[in-house]
Every structure is written in structure tokens, then in C-alpha cells.
Chains A and B, each alone.
Chain A
Amino acid sequence: MIGIGTKTGKKSTIARYPFLLEAFEMIKDESMEEILYSEAFRGSRALAVARVQSALKNDEKQIFIDERNCFEAVLSFYLAKAIVTHIKDNFLLKRHSIFEAKNAYYYLEKESEEVVDQVAKSLGIEREGDKIRFVTFLKYAPNSYGSWKLVNTRLSGGMVEIDRHIFLRIMQEAMRERIERIRFSVSDIDKAIDLSSIYAELSSRKIAQRKEYRIEFDSFPPCMKNIIAQIENNINVSHLGRFSLVAFLNGIGMKEEEIMKILMPTPDFDDRVARYQVEHITGKEYSAPSCDSMRTYSLCFEPDNLCAKIKHPMQYYEYKINHKDHGRVPSKEV
């Protein structure tokens, strides 16, 4: 067992590295029922969602951890891990482990050498003075160019000379691997925690990642198609309907100007007000409501077979455009 807690006596140090066994010890005896539903853990649950959101947005803001909130911090890490495990998306899994590993890396930068070595040891990495085994270096080097290429290192007797920066970077990679490997399942987590904003963000990121980017109206979910049709037919659309559409269009990467063009035909179209609304929604990065919420707002319209498989309108679009690519039959050369 690692000795961070016992040696420094600080739980806040452990909480910065929640993936370590010691950190898990802090929360393992809590009741899952309480964690998921009790008011006392509302903060942890919110922080868990924020952690996953930050991971998706590549948002490197750090959680401030002190003696008072270290329990909440560790718990939120495991709840976030449970969310990621529940969603079962490889892109999310990778993003999340990169994000958490980077987070830990920033903390490590400020730690004493003693703490650095203890965290390293618990990851299975030993540093001997300013050297590590070359196999460790090869395993965790983030790339193989320049100073990360073995041929450009100082190698002797199987040991590679490293400075602090390189060592921490090696550790970041080891932490990423450790975090990715953790599987933490909590049943009914989707009922206890609203995951719709995560689904929306995830789809949005995956759509934006596509090499060939264009908006494909054919691939919109029936609910969004219906709102657009209403606008085109000069039927008044509720504020919630417009909000959902704008958030959806923003989510799939449409520019403000283009969104404005779609809203134009509404009878009560006021360029100034509409622009304000659009900018407000896009600027704040609101996400479109989940399918559950769309049903509650009576915005769900003629759900099809695909609708039965998804939880968020964004997922519908993402699935459709990806499916289109894969389903295309390559032309045969004769």
C-alpha cells in the first residue's frame, strides 16, 4: 500500500490522485443508495457531471481540493467513472482518461519529489535517481519523435536518463492507462443523474470530429424536422421548441448565421430578438433537451425505429450520418 496518506497525513493529497487504491478506500464503505439519491451527495453528483463535461470540452480547469472537499472530489471521480462506464462510448472513455490524467499531472507538477515518487511507485514505476528502466520509457513515451525517441536519449545499462518534466509526462501516460482500465459500474446511475447534457455534448464532439463536415438535413431526427417544418409553414413555435432547435443546430456545429436563416420565416421573427436568443443559447453552450425532456415538452414527434434506440436527438443525428458513410456500397471496378 502506498503511503501518501499516512506519511503526510493529508487526505487532500490522496484526493488529487483518486484513481489510486488508497483514494478508493476513502469512499468504498458509503452506501450507493445514499450517494445516488441523498441530498448530502448532490454536490458530488453535480461535480461528477462537470468532470465528464470538462473532459468532453477539453476544458483544463482544475478542481480545487482541500481538506474539506476531498471526499466529495474522490466520490465525484468514481461517479464520473460510473457515468463513463454506463455510456460505453470509446471516444468518451479515452477523452475522460486523458482529462483526468492531465488533471493529476498538473497537481503532480507542484508536489514534492517524495509524493511524486510515491504516486509513481503505486503506478508500478520506479525512479532510480534521475533514471528509469528503458522499457518503462518505451511503454509510456507519448510519442516517438525527437527527445521521446529512444535513440535520442541517454541510455546505459537499460536505464534512461530523465528530467522531472519527462518523468511527470511518463507518469501522466501511466495514469491515463490506469484510469482507462478502471471499470466502475453503478446500476441505475442514469436514473439518479441526468445525463442528457453529456449525451448532447458527446454527440456534438463526435460530429465535429468528422473530416468531411456538412449539415445533412435528411439525417435530422423527426422532432427537429417537425419544428423546422412548422417554422417553414409559418406555424408559431413555442419558445421551448425554438430553444431546442437552436441548441440542437448549435450542437451539430451549425454557424449562428445559418441558424438565423432557419428561424427567419417565423411569424414573430424579430431579427434583433432572435439574434439575442441565438447568441445567448450558442454562447452559453446550452445543450438540446434529451428525448425524455422532449416528450415532457410535447416536442417529440412521430418517433421512428432509431428513436427507440437513443436517448438524445443529437445521438440520432450522429448515428444517421455515421451510418450513411458505413452503409455506402463501394463501386466495383470491372
Chain B
Amino acid sequence: MEEFLQKKFKEYYSNADLAMPRRFTRREYGFMFFGKSTMMRHMSFSSSQKIKAFLADKAPAHVFYSSAYYTKPYETDMKDKGWLGADLIFDLDADHLSLPENCTYEKMLSIVKRETKKLVEDFLIRDFGFRDLELVFSGSRGYHIHVYDKEALDLGSRERREIIDYITGNGISLDLILGKENYAIPSEKESGWYGKIGRAVNEYADKILSMENGVEELKKIKGIGDVKAERIYEGLKKLKKNPKVVNALPKEFIEYLKEKLAIESSKGEADEPVTSDIHRLIRFPTSLHGKTGFIVKSLSFEDFDDFDPLQDAIAFGDELLQMRVLKPFSIEIKDFHANVKEGIIEMPEYAAVFACARGLCTPA
């Protein structure tokens, strides 16, 4: 199985059009190989030919490079490497999102995509004003965003943590944003979280007021009965004209506003340790993901909406191969949709590589 994968990966890397990372000679490279659980690290390359030759020769299962630039990327001790700066990285992976139960693969991909769009548009572009971004399909269940803006490269770990806290709403002070005792919903037009919370509350009000049974909906909030729901409903009508009207609403609603409404609906998602780590290794775009065989693929923002990894990140061809199934599975990749039972089965190369990488089958 591993020999098969390595052979296929070798074929891919022998012909692949690899996209060299920016300033690739300043970066550290790391590799994991089929059948081995350790990582080969602290590698550096002086030319793109050398990287290509290495990949074609060794055909690693996973290929990484450092988000950081170093004077001596080959040194094994971090303090000897001479840190020069690092791309700012965001990692959005389905594993870190709270997904609904029994979530299908398609549903999962659409949730990750929605969150990625929100992260890029609402946070990285609108709030942080970043301009030089690269969006990358991780090769598995998520996306990576690389930010190359000059001012981002120098940021230390503490500053990067502040950025991720901003995105996830960690450490937000509702006392500052909504007021401590004298509450006021911020204007939708305000910057930062002030505007986000203003928009979230107004959207919520619009939603309730547009419902046929808005009052019933309000009664779903803990501690809200008939009388209070009516009061809140009337209050929400006045909200846009008078942002201080919240003060007159029942305290159960204010609690709901603070705990659920204000942050939950506006917060972005991204894995915290990835962003704050200034020595992180990240997947090499145009390399293959060893657990799927998919291409780690750089995407343009125009293509992102229509991007479907099960169609567009496929590295291998349609040639039919005989495979021995190790355990039954169902699969939907490109044109191959099947419920596979144990035994010998013929499937296209791209599906065979995926199923092999998942440990579901082996060449017959």
C-alpha cells in the first residue's frame, strides 16, 4: 500500500508544476515519509531544481515549509536559525469547528468554506486591511490563509495572539462595547467589534420582527415568558431609533444578548496555536497531502466560491486499477460514486490513491 502511494506520488512530483514559496531559500523545510512517523526537519534548498529533484526522488507523504524566514534555515536549534520574520498564517480546519451531528462531508466543506470567507472578508480584509493574501486548500478538511503584507511579517508571537483573539472574540469586554450599567447597542457603522455587535443585534431584531411568530421565538430564550416576550418584541421595534432601549428590556434578554447574540454570531474561526507560532511549518502549496492524495492547492478569490476539492484538487488520472478492499466504505470523488464492499474492485487511479491513503484498500 505504502509502496503504491510512494510510486504514485513519485509520478506526480516528476511532472508537477511546483509553485515555489516566496523567498524559498530562506525557509526551513520538513518532510514526512510513507511508513514513518517522524519528521525530517531543518532542511534548506538553494534552488528550485533541488527541491523538485528531492521531491521526485523521495516522494514524501507530506511536505512542509516554515512560515518563517531565517538567515540559516538549516540550523537545528531555533535560536541559531536567525529569525528574519514570518508570514502570518491562519488555519481553518473542520476538526476545530463545532459541526452539527452526523455532518456530511459536503456539509462540512460548505461550513468550512463559509467560515473561511468570513475570516478573509470580514476580518483580514475589512478590519485588518491586509492586501497580500494567499488562500490555500489544505488537501484535507480545511483552508490555510497566508498573509504576506510587509507589516505582518515582523509581528511577534504576542502580537499574533492578539490578532487571533480579535478574530475569535477572545477577551472581548462587553462592558466597554455595550456599556456597564447604561447599555447602548453600538451603531452598525462603527468599526471593529462595535459595528459587528451592532449589526448582529439589528439583524436579530429584523429577523424576529419579520417572523410571523416572533414573540414565540423570543419565548425560547431562557427565562422569557409571555409578558416579557411581548415587552422585548416592542423594544426591538424601537431599537434602531433608540440604541439605549435595551436598558428597559428584561435582564434575561440582556444576558442572552451578552452570552449568545453579541459574540457567537460574529466571531471568526481559526486555530489559535498556528497563528501565534512564529516558527510554524505549513503545507507546501502544490504538494500532495499524504492522507488524501489531494493537491494542497492555492486558490484565487474568484475561484473560491466554486471550488470543490472533490473535483478540483485531484492529482491523479482516470486509469482503472484493480484494488483489494480492506474494509467496506462509501466514496464520492469526481465521477466515482460507490458503496464499496470487501473483495477486489476496479476503480479510477484518483479514487484508488485516496482510498489507499485512507487505509481502506491496497493494490490487488
Q: Name A's B-contacting residues (CB within 8 A).
A: 133-135, 138-139, 144-147, 149-159, 161
**Chain B residues with a Cβ closer than 8 Å to the other chain, count:** 27
Q: Quick check: which of B135-143, B168-176, B242-250, B321-329 contacts chain A, the rest being far away?
A: B168-176
A-contacting residues, B146-189, CB 8 Å: 151-152, 154-155, 158-159, 162-163, 165-166, 169-173, 176-177
**Nearest-Cβ distance from residue B94 to partner chain A, whole angstroms:** 25
Q: Which of A147, A149, A158, A161 contacts B130, CB < 8 Å?
A: A158
**Which A residues lie within 8 Å of B166 (CB)?**
150-151, 155
**Nearest-Cβ distance from residue B269 to partner chain A, whole angstroms:** 15
What 18 additional pairs, Cβ within 8 angstroms, besides A133-B151, A146-B173, A156-B191? A138-B155, A138-B158, A138-B163, A144-B171, A145-B171, A149-B162, A150-B162, A151-B165, A151-B169, A154-B191, A154-B194, A155-B128, A155-B166, A155-B191, A156-B127, A157-B127, A158-B130, A159-B129
- Contact at B191–A149, with CB atoms within 8 Å? no
**Which B residues lie within 8 Å of A158 (CB)?**
127-130, 151
Q: Name B's A-contacting residues (CB within 8 A).
A: 126-130, 151-152, 154-155, 158-159, 162-163, 165-166, 169-173, 176-177, 190-194
Closest to B176 in A: A152
Q: A151-B193, A154-B190, A154-B191 are in contact. Are A139 and B129 (CB under 8 A)?
A: no
Q: A133-B151, A147-B176, A155-B127 are in contact. Are A139 and B191 (CB under 8 A)?
A: no
- Contact at B191–A150, with CB atoms within 8 Å? no
**Which A residues lie within 8 Å of B152 (CB)?**
135
Closest to B171 in A: A149
Closest to A159 in B: B129
User: How many angstroms from the CA of A134 to the CA of B130 in the assembled complex?
Assistant: 11
Q: Which of A135, A139, A156, A161 contacts B126, CB < 8 Å?
A: A156
**Which B residues lie within 8 Å of A154 (CB)?**
190-192, 194
The 3 closest A-B pairs by CB, nearest first: A158-B129, A156-B191, A154-B191
Closest to A148 in B: B162
User: How many angstroms from the CA of A132 to the CA of B86 in the assembled complex?
Assistant: 23
Q: Which of A133, A134, A149, A157 contacts B173, CB < 8 Å?
A: A149
**Which A residues lie within 8 Å of B158 (CB)?**
138, 144
**Which A residues lie within 8 Å of B127 (CB)?**
155-158
Between A144, A151, A156, A161, the greatest number of chain B beta carbons within 10 A of the residue's beta carbon is seen for: A151
**Contact sample, A vs B, 19 pairs, CB 8 Å cutoff:** A134-B129, A138-B155, A138-B158, A138-B163, A144-B162, A146-B176, A150-B162, A150-B165, A151-B170, A151-B171, A151-B192, A152-B176, A152-B177, A153-B192, A156-B126, A156-B191, A157-B127, A158-B129, A159-B129
Between B151, B170, B191, the greatest number of chain A beta carbons within 10 A of the residue's beta carbon is seen for: B191
- Contact at A151–B172, with CB atoms within 8 Å? yes
**Which B residues lie within 8 Å of A135 (CB)?**
151-152, 154-155, 159
**Which A residues lie within 8 Å of B176 (CB)?**
146-147, 152
**Which A residues lie within 8 Å of B154 (CB)?**
135
User: How many angstroms from the CA of A139 to the CA of B154 in the assembled complex?
Assistant: 10
Q: Which of B163, B177, B194 contacts A150, CB < 8 Å?
A: B163
- Contact at A152–B162, with CB atoms within 8 Å? no
